[in-house]
Amino acid sequence: MVTPTSTRPDGGDEAASDEALSGPGQQIAIIGMACRYPGADSPEAFWRNLADGVGSVTVFPPAPVPGSRADGAAAHYTPARGLLDDPAHFDAGYFGYSPREARLISPQQRLFLECAAQALEDAGQDPARSAATFGIYGGGTENGYGQILRDRRHELPGVTDWDILIGTAPDYQATRVAYKLGLTGPAVTVQAACATSLVAVHLAVQGLLHGDCDVALAGAAAVHVPDKVSQYTPGGIISARGECRTFDAAADGTVGGDGVGIVVLKRLADAQADGDRILAVLRGTAVNNDGAHRVGYTAPGVEGQTAVIREAQLVAEVDAGTIGYVEAHGTATPLGDPIELAALTAAFRRDTDRTGYCWIGSVKTNIGHTDAAAGAAGLIKTVLALQHRSIPPSLNYDKPNPAIDFDAGPFRVATRLTPWTADDTPRRAAVSAFGIGGTNAHVILEEAPPRPASAPAPAHQLLVLSARTPEALGDVAGRLAARLRDDPPGALADVAWTLQTGRREHDHRAYAVVRDTEGAVRALTGIAAGHPADAISRRAEHREAVFHFTGTTGRAPARGLYEAEPAYRRAVDACFAAAEGDDAVVQAFAHAYATAMTWIQWGIRPACVLATGAGVAIAAAVTKVLPVADAVRLAVAHARSGGAEALRDYAELFREASPRPPRVPLVSAALGRRLTQEEAADPLAWARAALQPDQELLDRALSELRADPRLVLLDVAADGSPPGPDADPPADDHAAALDTLGRLWSAGFPVRWRQVHGGVPRALLPLPGYPFQRELFLVEPLAQDGPRPGESADGPRPAGQPDGGGDEVLPTVLRLYAEILGFDEVAPSDDFFDLGGDSLIASRLAERIREVFPVDIDALSVFESPEPVQLAAAIEELLAP
């Protein structure tokens, strides 16, 4: 995968050095996939169609198109195509696009973006919370959406050539994904005709092995809106009858199709260390070009294909005799199929003389030729076949092409779903993609290695859910409940881990603390129905915790937490090791101190600390002012204190312990405010907080803290917040702590989920993806009797006064917001940037305002006053005499 081998197209010496071979350390794991292909909107649906032998090509009545040829004669079109369901529908809000901007982005780029988000989710990768570098390699096909926008540009307010270019040109397809999903590694556009997506995979592999990125997305899209029709040309690659009959004697070409396919890749060793779900292993990839060794620019060549297949085998260190399936390019042309089989046979014959042992097929018989996305379709099909250990049928095959001697070669066509048996080697497969222009790509796959058994886990687990809207949040909960009820994917702790670490975090949030799958289904069903209401919230922008230590609980260490949480167990053990006895005071100290250290280990770090009474010694240990042993002695001294001399004795003990500056600010119960640095270093201030708290000042401090909406007061010695009325009540201290953690996460606190699971990653599982709330965003092609100039694509613009007519500023500003952003209406308090605005759109809005009002407004004014009511007020101030 890294360096070229000495494979020669002329069949010369192919001995390769050890450095040229990949070795186990150079293997790449496929850890996630997403696709939209005819008849399928997910890999699961895709596999069901493949396994059932479903043909997803749409057939419609043939009809000539008059006047389409230069000579005026009718051009004939193939009456079939692989079509996508609702390709122009899109969840603009999920990606932060306004309706106007969404309509200016081609459906091809939009679906590629959606699939990229779905693929990352399937892989359990959230770039926003990962230290890994993410890259994307992808391309697309030429489509006519940009021309539609140009044809109707006079009807689209403020649309520029630049808008059309970045919204439709393939150059911006990969970088759009990087921008919207936060990928900071290479974002590379790949264009290699029909080989595009498999070449993207090869380049992604190279990027991973060279360290350009740690996680890579690779794939392509071919989406035509409106639907493309395929012109039939005698001797061309399109079938006249509209059937793709790969390898068949009656084959006369392929059928066009639309599709999107993306895979997520990671170095195998990293994927195994991180607990990723490995779908398959990429053992080797290779790319080359036929050069001049073919009869024409659009014709395939045997030598180039043989060379690329053989090089991939050598890089993979795989004997061709161990490959059990080949997903062929398989365009079903009388010329192309025999050439492809000849090249495959020549490459395989370098290793084996066996016949009829390797299955072969082509996904084009199911969905048509999806152009730039064709290689990804074959790759995803093959990964699914490895996962299900079955060979899906290749359709439309009755008897072999007479130019292909299957009896003498290694291959046989799979015509029914066939169990894939294994010998003494793992199941292996190969995938080819050959582009017009001579670019050839070939990859060698191997089934995923066995996954280690799931580690033991505590009884209670915290399930966290989030979405951009309340409606989507209900769908998330409902989908997950159905999956757990009908087809549980694995251990409940792994389900929790996948939800906690493998999903993007959105504003609308819900959680549930559960003990088993049945309880999880019950809780999730309740969330889907909108209750319990107190388990559903909207994340605040910024929240901080205040640790409140009172030391009044008298609690001994909690058995549930001690057994379930290593951080709690370590802290309790440290307290008992430092104490001279095991009395009630030490036990209460240990519980409170361990509780606080558990919260900190989980990521809930205090912005400040408030302590009174016996809680002062605990606070001193938590803030690292005193070592645990000294803090325990102070707690004992506090319990035995009495009389006026106690204050001096406590202060002296504190001074003797050589206190250090606290790591977080302190709020004094004796002063009713935060301590200065000098006061925080004064042992007498600590002694007063412990022995002479002022209740009135304490109440004032608590009131001020509670009045700050950014702060959450957390009594770290308590057992946790009570659950909602319809949730399973916490059965022990661990469940109660998880319930409180769920509340904090719902409020916007970041959580160190690995530490919640004891400091080690768990297994990521396949869970239902995000339920996109799609709407139609489309600029229709200009009809022959299209709308009159000045009439928008969505109907005529309102008649009446010129822009800015009317006496009130706010209604006009609201109308301009709606016009620029593409909404029917906008509320006075809506935020420009929450609606999908950006700096470029802000400049356009400012320009429109200057056209309407005689004021000097620029984009900065929109940034400073993003709400219409704010901007209207600014305009009125400028208009005032």
Q: Which residues are catalytic?
A: 194, 329, 369
Tell me the C-alpha distance between 356 and 359, whole Å.
8
State residue 544 phi and psi, 5-degree precision: -135, 155
Tell me the C-alpha distance between 576 and 632, whole Å.
9
Judged by DSSP in three states, 375 sits in helix
The H or E element containing residue 648 is: helix 645-656
For the chain, how big is the Rg over CA atoms in Å? Answer: 33
Which residues share a beta bridge with 215?
A: 134, 266
Tell me the C-alpha distance between 8 and 213, whole Å.
31
User: What is the length of the chain?
Assistant: 881
Q: Note whether 464 and 750 are within 8 A (CB).
A: no
Tell me the C-alpha distance between 365 and 240, whole Å.
15
Which residues share a beta bridge with 431?
A: 327, 443
Q: What's the angle, vertex CA 721, arms to CA 720 and CA 725, rounded to 5?
A: 135
Q: Note whether 113 and 176 are within 8 A (CB).
A: yes
Q: Note whether 689 and 670 are within 8 A (CB).
A: yes
Q: Note whether 610 and 705 are within 8 A (CB).
A: yes
* HSE toward the beta carbon, residue 717, CA cutoff 13 A: 25
Tell me the C-alpha distance between 623 and 735, whole Å.
26
The H or E element containing residue 439 is: strand 439-447
The H or E element containing residue 80 is: strand 80-81
State residue 431 phi and psi, 5-degree precision: -135, 135
Which residue blocks in 296-422 are alpha helix, DSSP H?
Answer: 302-316, 336-348, 364-367, 374-388
Tell me the C-alpha distance between 878 and 267, whole Å.
59
CB contact set of 546 (below 8 Å; sequence gap of 6+): 606, 607, 608, 609, 610, 667, 705, 711, 712, 713, 714
Q: Which region holds residue 560: left if phi is over 0, alpha if psi is between -120 and 50, else beta?
A: alpha
How many other C-beta atoms can be found within 10 angstroms of the C-beta atom of residue 76?
A: 17
Q: Which region holds residue 356: left if phi is over 0, alpha if psi is between -120 and 50, else beta?
A: left
Tell me the C-alpha distance between 769 and 759, whole Å.
26
Q: Note whether 382 and 369 are within 8 A (CB).
A: no
CA dihedral 434, 439, 440, 441 (to 10 degrees): -100
Q: At what angle do helices 584-601 and 628-640 cross, to 10 degrees?
A: 140
The H or E element containing residue 117 is: helix 107-123
